[in-house]
């Protein structure tokens, strides 16, 4: 229950600003609701520019001392943070499900996944190697140092309320940076819980602030403040582009993880059962609300009917409900407007001649629940071909030639994740090389992991998160020329 969760000390109606906790005032705070039943969870503070400026200043001071500590010392603090996240996995998962709606088992999976970035970057902290370069004159030596970029601003979305934070905070703190975070207003409690555990782990006072409030006001200060040297954002392409523009006058570095429109291609040499399993994961994980969710499923002629039949059957068996109930596989959508978008995409397909093979309407549970849906005979003139549905709808397009599938898959301004199923090795190389995407899943529907570089091309963003590359975005190169030797 809510009472039990509050007793853990991890569900707290407060922000951590410049090392001090600011409690929410229900009169002026932001109400946070459970998307499964609309019930009130609590209020979080509605803070603005002044608190952000204060947090940036505190992070600037704390960062200097933090960066001066040894990498191993920083790694130990991060390791303690990781251990606390794992030790409190159950409570963190419950908080996440309460505010976000995903099934509890999936939320627990997100906590493990989120914690893995803290663990990975704790390890990477000690491997930030510089260079020595042969000099260009006999009396000169060239050194390259890597130093933390300084204060980082982070703005994160509601679909992964834990992992989208750790994927940024892990490398930032490992590199020796400070961070001011603005989480999504729909899911602030997971972010606040992370701040509580960071404090317990011994992260220095002021190094990490978590601020909720008006996105526009907080965003304005984070982008205009010259002390902030990097902005890392995960969210919509629209807001990402706006923040990019807002950051131009102060020449900040940008890390952007934006929208996707992932193709999922099933070729005629694919293992169809494996492809169905992969499609279920790539499409229906988090109820279709991830930026790497399959948005367009292209199936080759010869296997189209067999694949659609198998997928429709598997999807009809998925259980939708309150994520707190055991056995539930799909939760609610995040809000009313998400439900409207999903319904409008389905209606558009049906009006233009597509067929509903499974689902196709709001769920009998009401609220923002929607039936897991499979649509056949979908064509490129329909809205689902161009826009991210962000819901449990699998639209099946038909194709004949391999080249046609690659061309259709690339026919979008986005370039985040892509997937395909095939057995032929030559085809696997041709298609992997032909897809204009930052990530390609071959014979798998699940690609995200701390070890690999996550990110997109085209309008899906800038930079990579995770892997050994993920820490580079938080470091600056300094060239030192030694003369007179
Ligand atoms: P989504 O569709 O996933 O909600 P958004 O891009 O709207 O994507 O939101 C992602 C994050 O960006 C959230 O934390 C949201 O509050 C924040 N955000 C939205 N508008 C702005 C803005 N004008 N300035 C700064 N941050 C914003």
pLDDT digits (tens, 9 = 90+) for 171-186: 999 999 999 999 999 9
Instruction: Tell whether ipTM is more than 0.90.
Output: yes
- Give the rounded percent of residues in the chain with a pLDDT score beyond 70: 100
- Residues 288-309 have a mean pLDDT of 98
Q: Which helix (H) or strand (E) holds 305?
A: helix 301-316
pLDDT at 1: 83
Check 257, 402, 465, 472 and give the catalytic one.
Answer: 257
pLDDT at 197: 98
Residue 188 Cβ inside 6 Å of ligand 1? The answer reads: no
Q: What is the DSSP letter of 446?
A: -
pLDDT at 368: 98
Q: Which atom of ligand 1 is nearest to the CA of 219?
A: 25
Residue 281 and residue 319 in contact, taking contact as beta carbons nearer than 8 Å: no
- Which residues are bridge partners to 154 per DSSP? 181, 232
Q: Quickly state the pLDDT bin for 239 (edges 50, 70, 90).
A: very high
Testing ligand 1's pocket by substitution, the residue of 44, 101, 155 carrying the most ligand atoms inside 8 A of its CB is 155
Ligand 1 atom 19 nearest Cα:
215
- Residues 307-312 have a mean pLDDT of 98
Residue 476 is a catalytic residue: no
Testing ligand 1's pocket by substitution, the residue of 235, 256, 388, 461 carrying the most ligand atoms inside 8 A of its CB is 235
Q: Quickly state the pLDDT bin for 389 (edges 50, 70, 90).
A: very high
Distance CA 73, CA 345 (A): 51
Q: What is the DSSP letter of 44?
A: E
Cα(236) to centroid(ligand 1), Å: 7
Q: Quickly state the pLDDT bin for 45 (edges 50, 70, 90).
A: very high
What's the half-sphere exposure (Cβ side, CA atoms, 13 Å) at 166? 29
In 3D, which of 345, 56, 68, 313 has the Cα closest to residue 206? 56
Which residue pairs from 78-82 have beta carbons closer than 8 angstroms and sit at least 24 positions apart in sequence?
Answer: 78/118, 78/119, 78/121, 78/122, 78/125, 78/170, 78/173, 78/174, 78/201, 79/118, 79/119, 79/122, 80/201, 80/202, 81/118, 81/197, 81/198, 81/201, 81/203, 82/115, 82/118, 82/119, 82/122
- Give the rounded percent of residues in the chain with a pLDDT score beyond 90: 100
Q: Quickly state the pLDDT bin for 321 (edges 50, 70, 90).
A: very high
pLDDT at 12: 98
Distance CA 482, CA 464 (A): 33
pLDDT at 366: 97
Whole-number average pLDDT of the chain: 98
Q: Which residues contact 461 (CB under 8 A, 6 or more apart)?
A: 240, 255, 256, 257, 258, 416, 438, 455
Instruction: Show the DSSP H helices in 176-251 as ranges.
Output: 188-201, 215-224, 237-247
- Residues 260-270 have a mean pLDDT of 98
Model pTM score: 0.98
Testing ligand 1's pocket by substitution, the residue of 30, 165, 236, 239 carrying the most ligand atoms inside 8 A of its CB is 239
pLDDT digits (tens, 9 = 90+) for 117-159: 999 999 999 999 999 999 999 999 999 999 999 999 999 999 9
pLDDT at 187: 98
- Residues 437-444 have a mean pLDDT of 98
Instruction: Show the DSSP H helices in 48-139 as ranges.
Output: 49-68, 71-87, 89-100, 104-124
Q: Report the phi/psi class of residue 458: left, alpha or beta, with left for phi > 0 and alpha for psi in -120 to 50.
A: left
Helices (H) and strands (E) in the chain, counts: 15, 22
Residue 156 Cβ inside 6 Å of ligand 1? The answer reads: yes
Cα(335) to centroid(ligand 1), Å: 15
- Which residues are bridge partners to 151 per DSSP? 178, 228
pLDDT at 59: 99
Residue 157 Cβ inside 6 Å of ligand 1? The answer reads: yes
pLDDT at 257: 98
């Amino acid at each position: 229950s809510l009472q039990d969760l509050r007793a853990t000390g991890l569900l707290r109606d407060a922000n951590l600003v410049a090392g001090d906790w600011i409690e929410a005032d229900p009169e002026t705070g932001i109400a946070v609701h459970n998307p499964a039943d609309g019930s009130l969870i609590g209020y979080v503070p509605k803070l603005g520019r002044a608190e952000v400026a204060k947090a940036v200043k505190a992070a600037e001071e704390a960062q200097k001392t933090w960066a001066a500590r040894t990498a191993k010392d920083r790694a130990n603090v991060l390791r303690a943070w990781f251990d606390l996240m794992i030790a409190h996995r159950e409570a963190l998962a419950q908080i996440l499900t309460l505010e976000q709606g995903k099934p509890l088992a999936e939320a627990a999976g997100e906590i493990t996944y989120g914690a893995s970035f803290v663990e990975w970057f704790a390890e990477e902290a000690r491997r930030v190697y510089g260079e020595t370069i042969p000099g260009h004159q006999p009396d000169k030596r060239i050194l390259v140092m890597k130093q933390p970029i300084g204060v980082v601003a982070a703005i994160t979305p509601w679909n992964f309320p834990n992992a989208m934070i750790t994927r940024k905070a892990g490398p930032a703190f490992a590199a020796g940076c400070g961070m001011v975070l603005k989480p999504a207003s729909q899911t602030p409690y997971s972010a606040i819980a992370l701040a509580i555990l960071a404090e317990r782990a011994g992260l220095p006072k002021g190094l990490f602030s978590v601020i909720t409030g008006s996105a526009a006001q907080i965003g304005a200060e984070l982008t205009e403040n010259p002390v902030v040297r990097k902005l890392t954002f995960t969210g919509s392409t629209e807001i990402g582009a706006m923040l990019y523009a807002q950051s131009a006058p102060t020449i900040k570095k940008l890390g952007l993880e934006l929208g996707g429109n992932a193709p999922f291609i099933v070729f005629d040499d694919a293992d169809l059962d494996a492809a169905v399993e992969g499609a279920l994961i790539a499409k229906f994980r988090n109820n279709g609300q991830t930026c790497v969710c399959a948005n367009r499923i292209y199936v080759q002629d010869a296997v189209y009917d067999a694949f659609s039949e198998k997928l429709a059957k598997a999807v009809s068996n998925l259980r939708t409900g309150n994520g707190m109930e055991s056995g539930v596989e799909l939760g609610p959508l995040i809000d009313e407007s998400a439900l409207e978008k999903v319904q409008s995409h389905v209606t558009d397909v049906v009006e233009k001649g597509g067929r509903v093979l499974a689902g196709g309407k709001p769920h009998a549970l009401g609220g923002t629940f929607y039936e897991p849906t499979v649509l056949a005979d979908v064509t490129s003139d329909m809205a689902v071909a161009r826009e991210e549905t962000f819901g449990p709808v699998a639209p099946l397009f038909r194709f004949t030639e391999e080249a046609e599938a690659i061309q259709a898959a690339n026919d979008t301004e986005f370039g985040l994740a892509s997937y395909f199923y095939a057995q032929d090795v030559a085809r696997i190389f041709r298609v992997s090389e032909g897809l204009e995407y930052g990530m390609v899943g071959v014979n798998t529907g699940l690609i995200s992991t701390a070890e690999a570089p996550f990110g997109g091309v085209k309008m899906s963003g800038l930079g990579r998160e995770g892997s050994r590359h993920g820490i580079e975005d938080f470091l600056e190169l300094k060239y030192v020329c030694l003369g007179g030797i």
